[in-house]
Amino acid sequence: MIKLIQGDCLEVMKEIPDKSVDLVLTDPPYGMSFKSNYREEKYKEIINDSDLSWLDYFVNEIYRVTKENTAHYVFCSFHNIDLFKQALEKKFTIKNLLVWEKNNTGMGDLTADFASKTEFIWFIQKGRREIIGSRDPNIFTARKTGNNFHPTEKPIDLMEYLLSKFSNSEDTILDPFMGAGSTGIACKLSKRKFIGIELDQDYFKIAQDRINNTQSQLF
């Protein structure tokens, strides 16, 4: 079951029943007014990325819709990592801060700063969920996406890996900030049910096309 919804996740999630979701894997706006200037054809600004006024409500909703004894992942940037932690720990247990080591570096200040090569993922639990398989380190590498579909696109292989550690086939996965659909593709490839929500009409169409066109291998 793949269910894709174009709309505001804060409204859409009101329709999701209590304790019906097995795992949340999402990459929300970081509250930093991110705008990619790297490409000649620049991406537009990310919607609702100017502040984090929505964060507490979002956390309350994902807590409501998730089952007991489940694990979840929320991507974030170092810019507001503390605010995400403060909001998440009001409802969830903070288990770890995972590090995605990218095989490319960000642009930023080229002459007065270190080159950024990481992003972060808050790993949280509602109750207690034991890991599947080996207990791996909290630093991951994943192949470069190229950001061909979205300015903050996440690697499908990384999303598949994260799903594999704390969910099973046929579990229901929720991504309230679907973007270009990497979580949905990972779910389809790993035989998980998926609910994806995306506000931006253009990115929703991209995600819809990518997920619908996914068969049994990456593309």
**pLDDT tens, residue by residue, 35-55:** 444 444 455 454 545 689 999
- Structural domain range at position 105: 2-212
Q: How confident is the model at residue 29 (pLDDT cuts 50, 70, 90)?
A: very high
Please give the mean pLDDT across all residues of the chain: 87
217 in a structural domain? no
Q: What type of residue sits at position 54?
A: W
85 in a structural domain? yes
144 in a structural domain? yes
161 in a structural domain? yes
| pLDDT for position 148 | 66
**pLDDT tens, residue by residue, 100-124:** 998 766 666 778 888 888 899 999 9
219 in a structural domain? no
Q: How confident is the model at residue 61 (pLDDT cuts 50, 70, 90)?
A: very high
Q: What type of residue sits at position 48?
A: N
Q: Tell the burial category of 184 from Cβ atoms under 10 Å away from its Cβ (0-12, 13-18, 19+).
A: buried
Q: How many domains does the structure of the chain reveal? A: 1
Instruction: With beta carbons less than 8 A apart as the criterion, state whether 132 and 165 touch.
Output: yes
**pLDDT tens, residue by residue, 163-219:** 999 999 999 999 999 998 999 999 999 999 999 999 999 999 999 999 999 874 443
Q: Distance between CA atoms of 164 and 155, rounded to whole angstroms?
A: 15
Q: Distance between CA atoms of 101 and 91, rounded to whole angstroms?
A: 28
Backbone angles phi, psi at 85, to 5 degrees: -60, -45
- Which residues contact residue 54 at a Cβ distance below 8 angstroms, ignoring those fewer than 6 apart? 10, 48
